[in-house]
C-alpha cells in the first residue's frame, strides 16, 4: 500500500507556491508510491487566495493527493509534518536595508522553527526557499532544539541547475552528460559555482572548457547573478525554476542521488572544508537511504579556496547580524 506523507508549504498563495503545489500533488516530489496530504500556511490576508489554489488542486483529481488543509497558524500547519517547504518570506521592499530584511524574516522563521519543534514528525525534513534562505534556515533551526540540526537545509539547487545549463550551452552537450558540478556557500551573489570537480562524460569539464577567463568572468557571474537577471527580465523573481529546484532537492534527499552524481545542498556545516561548524552553507552532498553526507576529500585549489572563503564570510556576517538582533 502507498505510504502517506504530510507536506507543509508556507507562502502557498505566492508564485513559487503556485508552481510547486501541483507538482507535489502529482507525485513528483516523493514518487508515485507516496500519497500526500498538503498543509498550506499563509498569512490571513492570503488565505482566500490559497483556498482558490486548493480548489484547483481538487479539480485535478490527483490520485496521490489525500487532502488539503489551509491555515494561518504555524502550529497547526506543522503538526505531524514530514516534509516542510518554507517558501513564504518577506521580500525586500524599497528603502529596506539588509538588517531590516533579516529582522522581518526573523519574525517569520523563529515562530516557524518553534512550531516545527513542537509538532513535527520524527523524520521531518525542512527545506528553506524564502530568502535570505541560508540564514532563515539557521534562524528556524536554532528555535527547534529537539529536531536534529541536520534536518534543516536551504536551497542552492536552483543555482546548481543554472550552472548545469550554462556549462551545457558552452560545450554544446546535453546536461545529462555533466556530473559533479558544485555550488558552495550562500544562495546569493557571493556563491561559488565550482567547475573544478565537474566531468562531462569521463573528461574534466575544465579541460573541455579550456578558458579560465570564461570561467571567472562569464560562467561564475552569470550563475551568481541569474536571480537578479530573471527579476530584471520578468519583473518578478524566478518561480517555476525555483519550484523545480525544490522538487529536485527533496526528491534527491528522500530517494537518493543518482549513481556517481552529487547534489548541492545548503546544510549545517560539520567543519568540512574549513566552513565554521553550524553555518548553513552549500556543499556537494551524496544522498542515500534518506540521508545526505557531505562529499569528503576533495582537493580545493587556491582559486576555489578564496571563493569559498568569500561566500562563507558573508554567511558569518549574516549570522552575526541575526545574533545581534537577538534572533538566534
Ligand X SMILES: O=C(O)C[C@H](O)C(=O)O
Site for ligand NAD in 282-311 (CB under 6 A): none
Q: Which stretch binds ligand NAD (CB under 6 A): 114-122, 216-224, 238-246, 251-259?
A: 238-246
107 is in an annotated binding site: no
191 is in an annotated binding site: no
142 is in an annotated binding site: no
Q: Choose from ligand X, ligand NAD, none: what does 239 bind? Cβ within 5-8 Å by kind.
A: ligand NAD
CB atoms within 10 A of CB 185: 30
By CB under 6 A, residue 42 contacts ligand NAD: yes
Integer-rounded Cα radius of gyration of the chain:
19
Cell of 150: 541536520
Binding site for ligand X (CB under 6 A): 131, 158, 227, 230, 237-238
Closest residue to ligand X: CB criterion: 227
Tell me the closest approach of the beta carbon of residue 121 to ligand NAD, in angstroms: 20
CA distance 245 to 315: 21
Phi, psi of 291 (to 5 degrees): -125, 155
**29: part of which helix (H) or strand (E)?**
none
Q: Give the DSSP letter string of 133-169.
A: HHHHHHHHHHT-TTS-GGGEEE--HHHHHHHHHHHHH
x/- string (CB under 6 A) for ligand NAD, residues 57-96?
Answer: ------------------------------xxx-x-----
CA distance 201 to 259: 14
12 is in an annotated binding site: yes
- 251 catalytic per annotation: no
By CB under 6 A, residue 131 contacts ligand NAD: yes
Could you tell me where the DSSP H helices lie in the chain? 15-25, 47-59, 74-78, 98-119, 133-142, 157-171, 205-209, 212-214, 220-224, 226-234, 240-255, 302-324
By CB under 6 A, residue 127 contacts ligand NAD: no
By CB under 6 A, residue 40 contacts ligand NAD: no
Q: Which residues lie below 8 Å from residue 324, measured CB to CB, with a gap of 6+?
A: none
By CB under 6 A, residue 314 contacts ligand NAD: no
Which residues of the chain form contacts with ligand NAD (CB under 6 A)?
10-11, 13-17, 41-43, 46, 87-89, 91, 108, 129-131, 133, 155, 158, 187, 237-239, 242
Residues with active-site annotation: 187
Amino acid at each position: 500500500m502507498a505510504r502517506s506523507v504530510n507536506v507543509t508549504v508556507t507562502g502557498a498563495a505566492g508564485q513559487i507556491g503556485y508552481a510547486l503545489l501541483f507538482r507535489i500533488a502529482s507525485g513528483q516530489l516523493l514518487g508515485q508510491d507516496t500519497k500526500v496530504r498538503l498543509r498550506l500556511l499563509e498569512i490571513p490576508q492570503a488565505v482566500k487566495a490559497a483556498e482558490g489554489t486548493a480548489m484547483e488542486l481538487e479539480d485535478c483529481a490527483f490520485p496521490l493527493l489525500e487532502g488539503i488543509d489551509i491555515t494561518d497558524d504555524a502550529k497547526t500547519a506543522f503538526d505531524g509534518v514530514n516534509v516542510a517547504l518554507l517558501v513564504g518570506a518577506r521580500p525586500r521592499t524599497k528603502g529596506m536595508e539588509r538588517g531590516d530584511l533579516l529582522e522581518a524574516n526573523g519574525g517569520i522563521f523563529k515562530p516557524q522553527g518553534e512550531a516545527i519543534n513542537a509538532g513535527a514528525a520524527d523524520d521531518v525534513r525542512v527545506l528553506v526557499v524564502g530568502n535570505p534562505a541560508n540564514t532563515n534556515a539557521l534562524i528556524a533551526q536554532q528555535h527547534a532544539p529537539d529536531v536534529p540540526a541536520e534536518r534543516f537545509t536551504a536551497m542552492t539547487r536552483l543555482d546548481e541547475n543554472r550552472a548545469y545549463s550554462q556549462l551545457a550551452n558552452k560545450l554544446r552537450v546535453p546536461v545529462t552528460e555533466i556530473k559533479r558540478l558544485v555550488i558552495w556557500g550562500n544562495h546569493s551573489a557571493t556563491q561559488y559555482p565550482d567547475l573544478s570537480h565537474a566531468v562531462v562524460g569521463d573528461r574534466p569539464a575544465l579541460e573541455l572548457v579550456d578558458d579560465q577567463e570564461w570561467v571567472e568572468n562569464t560562467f561564475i557571474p552569470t550563475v551568481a547573478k541569474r536571480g537578479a537577471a530573471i527579476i530584471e527580465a520578468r519583473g518578478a523573481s524566478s518561480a517555476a525554476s525555483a519550484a523545480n529546484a525544490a522538487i529536485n532537492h527533496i526528491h534527491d534527499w528522500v530517494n537518493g542521488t543518482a549513481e556517481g552524481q552529487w547534489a548541492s545542498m545548503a546544510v549545517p556545516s560539520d567543519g568540512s572544508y574549513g566552513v565554521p561548524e553550524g553555518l548553513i552553507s552549500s556543499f556537494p552532498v551524496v544522498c542515500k537511504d534518506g540521508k545526505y553526507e557531505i562529499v569528503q576529500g576533495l582537493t580545493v585549489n587556491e582559486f576555489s579556496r578564496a571563493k569559498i572563503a568569500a561566500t562563507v564570510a558573508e554567511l558569518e556576517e549574516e549570522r552575526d547580524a541575526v545574533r545581534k538582533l537577538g534572533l538566534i
